Every structure is written in structure tokens, then in C-alpha cells.
Amino acid sequence: MSILVDKNTRLLVQGITGKSGGFHAKSCMDYGTNVVAGVTPGRGGETFEGKVPVYDTVGEARTHTGCNATMIFVPPAGAADSILEAVDAGIELIVCITEGIPVIDMMRVKAALQKSRSRLIGPNCPGIITPGQCKIGIMPGYIHNPGKVGVVSRSGTLTYEAVWQLSSRGHGQSTCVGIGGDPINGTSHLDVVKMFNDDPGTEAFIMIGEIGGSAEEEAAEWIGKNCKKPVAAFIAGATAPPGRRMGHAGAIVSGGKGTAQGKIEALKNAGIEVASTPADMADALLRRIKRG
């Protein structure tokens, strides 16, 4: 079992004829993802890799291929409009890799998503992978193995680190979701936590957060009240100077909220095993599983 994507996912790539879009579209195809279409305005009628049809609009791609997911590699100035185009076409899952989208643009996107059936992962994220079935994003597929541990994270590199640790210890993954580090994104820790909790194929999971915002505390509170599965967590940015942003646009502490210590306390109060360093993430989960 898995969440959000599997072998039946039919992927569209917006920006497929660009350098980054083309590179990662081919990587997803090589992994086994069913890439059925691409979109680049003005390039309709062409093909990618000699077999994937390219369309001018998402609506055309949806009509002709039945795509139900899209991966967006469009520069920041046009990325929000690309998300909105996918929403208008009724694409169920939208994965936006683009970094640097203006916050005001994402406010428009957030409002549109609330009125739709589409789910956005990202922006500024590595994407999502169900090992052995479907890869949508920029993550290195070879480190992932099919299994029963879920991973949700605001950080791409920490996601890869957790996955490598799990795979090295013989624990595969059900689905790994990089939700992105921007202040306004489409899917929260809590959203993914609820999906992992409901997924019979996910028996435990790791939640990776960082300073800034309250998403981790909200997820921890829900886990403490509702989740019986073993959970481990890590919070990045514990050494960040007050008022400084560390890496992601959303990783900033202000008004005394969003501190690493506050998040760690909330996690521990919910019965979650908290890793002390990035190198301890998989072992923290194994300790939590052993504890029962």
C-alpha cells in the first residue's frame, strides 16, 4: 500500500522541454513512472524522448491522456499560473518543484486549492515517491526500497538522509513526501500524517521538520491523540540564531514562536521519539518501535 501515488499514476510534466524539466522527466521515466504527457506553450505537437506527446495546455493534455498528476518545472514568475492551470484542468495531484515563487502568488494558489479537488505538494520541494512504483520529483530513486515506513519532511536533503538510513538498516519505505519549506505550501505535515495513519501499508513513520511556523506542533498534538503507530521525528535549526532564517523561506522564528525547543517538547509530549542529530533519525524510529 501507499499514499497519493502508485503504479497507476499517469503523470504530466509542465515544462518538459526545458533543461531541468526534461532531465527529471526522463529520470522519472527511467524509474518506471508512467509519464503520459508534457506541456510547453507553443510546443504542442512535438514529442519528448520520441514517445511522450507535448501539448500547449494542461487542459488538452488532460483530455487526450487522462493524466491525474502533474510535475511542474516552470520558472518562479510563471509557476503559480502553472499550478492554477492544473487546478482548472482538474488534475488531482500537483507536485511543484519550483523554488522562489512569490508569497503573494502562493496566496492566490492557496485560495484556489481550497475551492478545488486538487492537492498540491510543494512548492520548493523534492516531490513524492512510492518506491518501486512511482517517482515524481528530483529525489535519487536508487536509495529507496519498497517497505512499510513512511517519511514526511520539509527538507529534501534530510529526506534523502532518512531514507538512506532506513534502507541501510533493511527498512523500506511505503511513501516519502517532501512537502517543501516555503511559508505557504499545499500540503502540511498533518495532512500527510493523517494519510500515513490511515494507510494499512504504513506501519511507522518519520516526520522531519524545522524551525518556523507551528505545523510540527499541530501534527504532534494530533498524533498524541489519534495515532497508535510508532513515530520518530527530527527538528532542524536548533542552533539557529534568534530571528535568522535557516535555508528555507518558512524557517524563521519570530515573536517567540516556531522555536526548535518548543517543537521538540511538543513532539516528546506526544510520545514521539525525537532524534538528537540527523544521523540518529532511523535509529530513533527503531528505538520507538522497540519500545512498543
Instruction: Extract the C-alpha cell encoding 140.
Output: 535519487
The pLDDT of residue 205 is 98
CB count, 10 Å around CB of 30? 11
By the 10 Å C-beta count (0-12 exposed, 13-18 middle, 19+ buried), 56 is classed as middle
The pLDDT of residue 252 is 52
Q: Which CATH superfamily is domain 10-121 in?
A: NAD(P)-binding Rossmann-like Domain (3.40.50.720)
CATH 3.40.50.261 fits 139-291, yes or no: yes
Amino acid at 22: G
Instruction: Of 69, 85, 83, give the one whose Cα is nearest residue 34.
Output: 69
Hey, which bits of the chain come out as E strands? 10-14, 34-39, 47-48, 52-55, 69-72, 93-96, 119-121, 127-130, 134-137, 146-153, 173-178, 204-210, 231-236, 273-274
Active-site annotation holds for 144: no
Residue 220 and residue 153 in contact, taking contact as beta carbons nearer than 8 Å: no
Sole residue written with cell 514529442: 47
The pLDDT of residue 250 is 52
Is beta strand 204-210 parallel, antiparallel or unpaired with respect to 231-236? parallel
The pLDDT of residue 243 is 55
Averaged pLDDT, groups of 10, the chain, 292 residues long: 94 98 98 98 97 98 98 98 98 97 97 98 98 98 98 95 98 98 94 98 96 90 97 85 55 59 94 97 97 82
The pLDDT of residue 263 is 93
Domain ranges of the chain: 10-121, 139-291
Instruction: Of 174, 166, 170, 241, give the one whose Cα is nearest residue 211.
Output: 241
